[in-house]
Amino acid sequence: MDERALYHRQSSVKPPVASRVIFTDLDGSLLDHDTYSYEVALPLVKRLDRADIPLVFCSSKTRAEQEVYRRKLKVASPFIVENGGAIFIGQGYFPFPFECQRVTKGYQVIELARPYSEIRRILEEIRLKNGLDFRGYGDMAAAEIAHLTGLDLASARLAQKREYQETLNLTGSEEQIQFVLTKIKEAGLNVSRGGRFYGVMAGSDKGRAVTILTELFRRKLGPIETIGIGDSLNDVPMLAKVDIPVLVKKPGNYWEEIELPNLYRIDSVGPQGWVKAVAELTGI
């Protein structure tokens, strides 16, 4: 089906009246891919808060990184870190007991993935065994990460505070990159492709975290309708588990090559597309 026809057909479908929960990627979705700005989306984020619609960050970013945006945007909902590595829930947010692995700094934490130190150990074994020279955030100084990502130095340091997933900057030919990815997968690790880099972890993904958190929201709110917004391949597990999956365009004005049932493609890039989707689907 023609993409434009798909967009208009799906745009005409109005969601049923129900409590809504929005799961959103950050980089390239709520945040501008290049500047990391959220200014375009800020008025709508405030309206979501007034409408009591939970906004759940579901990102490759670390807890430390996401806490910055939670403070700036005044978002108090639970959040999913490092591509599904764990769910952080403010103590008392859900008024009933649920299983969590630890409590720290005001959060109940549902840990889903293996710890970062273990991922680093396995990656080092892969390097030595195969004579490879790939590098991750754990091998870089903050200044190098800032240079590669466009983050300021303070933000790059927060990106290094990893707990579950290593981020790899793979260089070389496509054949060389595929060889590295193959060896990583053979070692039992999962690989996801984000907007800039590859994420490596084991034991979870965004979809698993979304499924668990959705059930907790149902226990709190009753019947809900979930919306998921992303722009990259690493968002597919999240988009596959929500009622309304939304794909915004990437810089360059194109959609990532993703095929999912009822995928709602928005004809705008990043935060501009995010605003269009949320405004239309929530009516606020």
Is there a catalytic annotation at residue 25? yes
Planar angle of CA 144, 115, 130, nearest 5 degrees: 65
| Residue 47 parent element (H or E) | helix 42-50
State residue 168 phi and psi, 5-degree precision: -110, 140
Distance (Å, whole) CA 118 – CA 121: 5
87 three-state secondary structure: strand
Tokens read off for 120: 């680093």
Tokens read off for 34: 């290049």
Interhelix angle 270-282/42-50, rounded to 10 degrees, is: 30
Contacts of 257 (CB under 8 A, 6+ apart): none
Tokens read off for 240: 């596959």
| Burial class for 25, CB neighbours closer than 10 Å (0-12, 13-18, 19+) | buried
**Which neighbouring-strand residues pair with 244?**
227
Which residue out of 25, 27, 205, 231 is catalytically annotated? 25
Terminal C-alpha separation, the chain: 30
Distance (Å, whole) CA 69 – CA 153: 16
Q: How far is CA 195 from CA 107, 138, 206, in A?
A: 29, 19, 15
Active-site residue list: 25
